[in-house]
Structure 1
Amino acid sequence: MFSSRQKAEVHIEKQASWLKYPHKLNLYDQPPLEDITVEEFESCAIDRLRVLAEIESSFARNRPFDELKTITLAQCEKYLPMASNTAITVDRDAQRWKDVVGHFVLRLAFCRSEELRRRFVKAELTLFRVRYDNCSPSEIKDFLESRDFGWTQVDGAEKTKYFTQLRALSIQKAAPQQKAPPTDVEHLEEFHKVRWTRVPDLVERRKVFLQGGWAYVPAREQASIVFQEFQSRLENSLEMTAKALPRLDEDTRLIPILENLSQGFLAGVPSEWSAPEGSGEEIRADMIDELSRKHFPMCMRNLHDNLRRDHHLKHFGRLQYGLFLKTLGLSIEEALLFWRRSFSGYTDDQFNKNYKYNIRHSYGLEGRRANYPGKSCQQILTSDQPGSNDSHGCPYRHFSPDNLQTALLSMYASQGLTTADLPEIITTVKAGHYHVACTRVFEITHAMQGVKKGEGIGGGESVTHPNQYTTTSRQIERALVESVKMEVDGDVHMET
């Protein structure tokens, strides 16, 4: 007779066998063969890239693995959920299909250079490791049994032959809260042997017993073999994909998508941001000076300061700043008022003739009448590169180190940034992690409001859009004001 728990486990196991993708873990050795739309092609890849880009940012910030794991799981929950086989009310196949499609699309995007391949493999391996660590023992066991990892289980005779050496590995892990090391072969943990070249990390850390070119790997270190197998398979697959990629050159629909995706590690994956609804206030022209000092990221603060100094911005500067203000919530009426006041050296006729049309065009009121969104960090970094006399672009990328440090202190010293913070920021910039540097500035300048190092704009997430930076900053301020107001109201109520 089976217990109710055993019956439930059998039922779940049968259900898993019906799934096209029966495991949360995947070595991605079988590409999806179904027809998919261009929209699915792009959306699946973008959601996966959001997770991988945040992993890349965590590398740049030297986060410990436990912290990286927490942040990655939170990102997966938002963009790439993966339910276990026990979640029978969830469409697990749909989740896993999206995961597989996103992975193979990103292979196409990141196979085109050795540097992109290296970064992609590192991020994908970390995602696989995070998921592996988050799986239950039964899920891991089922996955391992479904694949041939080329290892050989060490039998009793071999355990007896090398008992002293294998027991020594068990002694290494012994801790006060753990059981004593085994005294006989029967109580020795399981071991698998592979060629030592497959586990160089374990050899380096002296976690295996070496004999005749074989590495005897204890069960607790088995994951290292799995991770190495994942990495080597992915590296080989990316090289094969790179050779096949030229066949896609004639498909004008996919190449632009892949080009855009391959920029994802440069500045994360942008979100569409707008002023929060129900905030209780509109953005007006006379508010922008104060907002810039308190809430703007460096790119927009630089544009605003140059506009105030020169009473003019060149075309791409006006475009970048104008779309930012529009997305922040500045109406067309207030925008015309703001720009007219800012261009104080021009007559009404000059302003109307040379600038008014472009402002209305950006709001979708002229020309094609398209509703243009604010530019993301990725767009600012990769398009319309600034010349020596331009003000647009990303200061973290386009300023010299000396000018960047001077500008940072000039703009943010009043918000708590000091010279002691500059080395960390400049090091991050030199490594090419511009949005990570911007995120660190956000943390420093909002430390007095309770933002801690590593929190980013919430949950460890990095800045990927100037409006995201400003919106989050304003939300933090609004929450603090509401908190103080509640405390004051509470004190008044107690006095009465």
Structure 2
Amino acid sequence: MFKSKELKSQKRTPTASVGASTAPGYPHRLNFYDLPPLFEVTLEDFEESAIDRLRILAEIESSYARNRSWDELKEVTEKLCKKYLPLHANATALGKINPLEERKRDHLGHFVLRLAFCRSEELRRRFVTTEKTLFRVRYEGELREEKMEFVNSLNFGWVKVDTNERSSFEAELKALEVKPPGLPRTDEQEGPRAQEYVKVHWTKVPDLVAKRRVFLRGGFAYVHSREVSSIVYHEFESALQKALEHTAKMLPRMDEDTRLVPLLNNLSQGFLAGIPSEWSGPPLAGDEIRADMIDDMAKKHFPLCMRNLHECLTRDRHLKHFGRLQYGLFLKVLGLSIDEAVLFWRKSFSNITDDKFNKEYKYNIRHSYGLEGKRANYPAKSCQQILTTDKPGVGDCHGCPYRHFSPENLQSSLLTHYSLQGLGTTDLHEIMRTVKDGHYHVACTRVFEITHASKGVKKGDGIGDGESVTHPNQYAARSIELEKEQSQEGTVMAVD
């Protein structure tokens, strides 16, 4: 299965340097990213390739915060890869799609994110962890033949253990043939090569040494073919760490590029709340959202940030500027028309005169709908924008409660707003733990799962396909959708 290598430090052959008929320069869909992309791209492609990849990496980190099992994490990651970053195998790509474009996009997105996440030790650590996980998911899902070709195209400084050496350590190596409990069956275990061994310096497989799954002799680890993936993962992680440190030293040269620096700064915040999808239309197809529906919808479908704003508006008959902006754009994208929005805000601001409302507030409402000023169609704020911009001060109601509330106020608010939907005191420990660790959107996702359990949502489902909440409108839209599905199922059962 493995090519015999000289047991000395050698430079690996970069995976992007070998030609292939299906994807010149990218013979494998697996990639160690040894070389930077050497082709011209538009600024739009530069950004989009990074955003699509960051969607996947952010969900991987969320999966760790949500204590998903490896099988669950792998399933979610594979679904997101098919959606945002597909990579077809050589065997399945022939005559159907062009794998070159897919692999170039994958290559580009990785290097753009290197620029974004090399800036601090913490960012580098998080990037390496998620990239290694993505690589492992792809490696485990790779076709056996293509996986073998990829591994043999690299040089990790290992040596295949020959027959004479195996005879010398027969008893010790025989012990390694016992599969550890819980280890799934993999391609490396199948076929006549299932009992092959390679030896490599023990520093290449520290995880296997710690688990006592190798035989050590003279500074070298004898590794069963079943475990060779650990060498590959360790090499990937080590190479990426060194590359990020090198990139960090080179980054100051880019400070004068006004096109890229703001983009990279924005990407570096992607782990905070994931990468949101754009929400531009109402979730209630064919149904109009009226002003008098908002209060009931807030109690059933709104995330905590919007419930808090609605409560403050109901209580104080007023919201400050950033609160009106955050809540107003949310309602707009939810499907509230301009006429209904004016009616809603006028009714909510019941303690002021018509004249004051028309002079001081009506213009801003129309402006947010693109009917005044520069007539821009403003989108609703995503979780990332709410978390990172316009920090609330004293008397403000905007922002993210999971980040901006004190622990005591947050727990009280959660029980106040969601206890009737199934959230109890026993759920608070898990939610507060994720908040303490800085995974605010994960806490919001868990609240969604708990409060929609009666509609069939299970732990780990998120808002669909395991994805975490990244946008308040995403939360509300999915909640409304689930209610409609349950209502339709009830109608069908009644007819039957």
Band the TM-score falls in, shorter-chain normalisation: over 0.9
Q: Please, which of 26, 31, 34 is the counterpart of residue 26 of structure 1? A: 31
Q: 1:474 to 1:172 in 2, by over 3 A?
A: closer
Alpha-carbon deviations, 1:241-293, whole Å to 9, x = none? 00000111111010110001000000000111144467221111000000000
Letter in 1 for 2:459: K
Alpha-carbon shift at residue 172 of structure 1 (Å):
4.5
Match of 1:484 among 486, 490, 494: 490
**SS of 2:445's equivalent?**
helix
Deviations 1:386-405 (A, max 9, x none): 00210000000000000000
SS of equivalent residue, structure 1 residue 193: strand
Moved more, 43-52 or 198-207: 198-207
Determine the C-alpha separation between the residues in 2 that align with 1:401 and 1:373. 30
Partner of 2:221: 215
For 1:160 and 1:74, locate their aligned partners in 2 and report how far apart those are by CA, in whole Å.
46
1:337 to 318, 338, 343: 343
Q: How far apart, CA to CA, are the structure 1 residues paired with 2:24 and 2:492?
A: 52
The equivalent of 2:468 in structure 1 is: 462
Distance 1:415 1:275, change over 3 A: farther
1:94 corresponds to: 101
Q: Mean alpha-carbon deviation: is it higher for 46-55 or for 148-157? A: 148-157
Go from structure 1 to structure 2 and tell me whether the alpha carbon gap of 1:384 and 1:211 turns closer, same or farther (over 3 Å shift). Answer: same
Alpha-carbon separation, structure 2, partners of 1:188 and 1:15: 29
**Could you list the per-position Cα deviations for residues 123-167 of structure 1 after superposition, in whole angstroms to 9, with x for gaps in the alignment?**
000000000000111111010111111111111111111111111
Q: 1:234 aligns with which of 240, 252, 265?
A: 240
Tell me if the contact between 1:274 and 1:467 (Cα under 8 Å) persists in the aligned partners.
no
Does residue 36 in structure 1 map to residue 41 in structure 2? yes
**CA displacement 1:317-344 (0-9 Å, x = unmatched):** 0000000000001111000000000000
Aligned length: 470
Match of 1:438 among 433, 444, 448: 444
SS in 1 for 2:356: helix
Superposition CA RMSD, Å:
1.7
Residues in 1 aligned to 2:69 and 2:455: alpha-carbon distance in whole angstroms: 25
- Counterpart CA distance in 2 for 1:475 and 1:70 is 23
> Contact 1:295–1:473 (CA<8 Å) still a contact in 2?
yes
8 Å contact 1:154–1:191 — kept in the other structure?
A: yes
Matches of 1:440 and 1:454, distance apart in 2: 8
SS at match of 1:171: coil
Distance 1:352 1:488, change over 3 A: same
1:311 to 309, 312, 317: 317
1:395 corresponds in structure 2 to 401
* Aligned 8 A contact 1:323 1:373 in 2: yes
**Taking structure 1 as reference, are residues 143 and 348 closer, same or farther at Cα in structure 2, changes over 3 Å only?**
same
Match of 1:51 among 42, 49, 56: 56
Match of 2:381 among 337, 360, 375: 375
2:67 maps to 1:72: no
The alpha-carbon distance between structure 1 residues 368 and 53, as it changes in their structure 2 partners (threshold 3 A), is same
- Tell whether the 8 Å contact from 2:22 to 2:99 is kept in structure 1 after alignment: no
Q: Which range moved further: 166-175 or 394-403? A: 166-175
Aligned-partner Cα distance in 1 for 2:115–2:97: 29
- 1:487, CA displacement in angstroms? 1.2
Does residue 420 of structure 1 match 2:437? no
Q: Tell me the equivalent position of 2:134.
A: 127
TM-score normalised to structure 1 length: 0.92
What does residue 416 of structure 2 align with? 410
Secondary structure of residue in 1 paired with 2:222: strand
TM-superposed deviation, 1:20 = 2.2
| 2:55 partner letter | R
| In structure 2, distance between residues paired with 1:383 and 1:221 | 46
Give, in whole Å, the separation in 1 of the partners of 2:21 and 2:71. 30
Amino acid at match of 2:377: N
The aligned counterpart of 2:161 is 154
TM-score scaled by length of structure 2: 0.92
CA contact (8 A) 2:326 2:380 kept: yes
Question: Which is worse superposed, 303-312 or 87-96?
Answer: 87-96
Is there any run of 5+ residues in structure 2 with no aligned partner, and where? 1-17, 186-191
- Residues in 2 aligned to 1:365 and 1:235: alpha-carbon distance in whole angstroms: 50
Are the aligned partners of 2:329 and 2:379 in contact in 1 as well (CA < 8 Å)? yes
Aligned to 2:272: 266
1:60 aligns with 2:65: yes
Give yes or no for contact 1:16–1:85 (8 Å, CA) kept in 2.
Answer: no
Following the alignment from structure 2 to structure 1, what is the Cα–Cα distance between the partners of residues 387 and 194? 56
Structure 1 pair 82/126, CA: closer, same or farther in 2 (3 Å)? Answer: same
Q: Give the gaps of 5 or more residues in structure 1.
A: 1-12, 179-185, 491-496
Inter-partner Cα distance in structure 1 for 2:65 and 2:181: 34
* CA-to-aligned-CA distance 1:201-248 (integer Å, 9 cap, x gap): 001111100000000011110000000000000000000000000111
Question: Letter of the aligned partner of 2:425 in structure 1?
Answer: T
The letter for the 2-side match of 1:53 is A
- How far apart in 2 are the matches of 1:200 and 1:233? 15
* 8 Å Cα contact 1:275-1:471 kept in structure 2: no
Distance in 2, matches of 1:400 and 1:37, equals 44
Distance, in Å, in 1 between the alignment partners of 2:243 and 2:181 is 39
State the identity %: 62
Higher helix content, 1 or 2: 1
1:167 match: 174
Residue identity opposite 1:404 in structure 2: L
Aligned partner (choices 348, 353, 359) of residue 354 of structure 2: 348
Question: Shift of the alpha carbon at 1:455?
Answer: 0.2
Measure the CA separation in 2 of the matches of 1:429 and 1:208: 39
Q: Is the 8 A contact 1:443 1:456 kept in 2?
A: yes
**Does the CA contact (< 8 Å) of 1:386 and 1:393 recur in 2?**
yes
Shift in alpha-carbon separation, 1:17–1:367, aligned structure 2, 3 A: closer
